[in-house]
């Protein structure tokens, strides 16, 4: 039995890494969406889970609310 879902990162021409779930990701009848970007200083991420059949929001962040944005701080 497969546990979890694959995630793939691709390095873009500008050096930014883009990542997302590798194909459909369904766990316990929840469709999971996960996206991430990283450029060495800034990290953006978004993920959520929705009921497979109804599309009802279960956890994470609503699409309309956008991504989380984390910024590397100077030491």
Does pTM surpass 0.85? no
Distance CA 35, CA 19 (A): 6
Does the residue 23 lie in any domain? yes
> What confidence tens digit (pLDDT) does each residue in 13-64 have?
999 999 999 989 999 999 999 999 999 999 999 999 999 999 999 999 999 9
Question: To the nearest 10°, the Cα dihedral for 32, 6, 66, 50?
Answer: 0
pLDDT of residue 2: 61
Does the residue 47 lie in any domain? no
- Indicate if the pLDDT at residue 11 is higher than 80: yes
Does the residue 32 lie in any domain? yes
Residue 11: beta bridge partners? 17
Does the residue 60 lie in any domain? no
Distance CA 54, CA 7 (A): 24
Q: Are the beta carbons of 31 and 17 closer than 8 angstroms?
A: no
**Number of domains the chain is built from:** 1
Mapped onto helix, strand or coil, the DSSP state of residue 74 is: coil
């Amino acid at each position: 039995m497969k546990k979890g879902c694959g995630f793939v990162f691709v390095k873009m021409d500008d050096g930014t890494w883009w990542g997302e779930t590798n194909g459909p990701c369904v766990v316990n009848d929840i469709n999971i969406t996960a996206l991430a970007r990283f450029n060495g200083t800034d990290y953006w991420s978004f993920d959520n889970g929705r009921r497979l059949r109804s599309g009802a929001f279960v956890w994470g962040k609503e699409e309309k609310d956008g991504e989380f944005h984390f910024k590397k701080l100077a030491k």
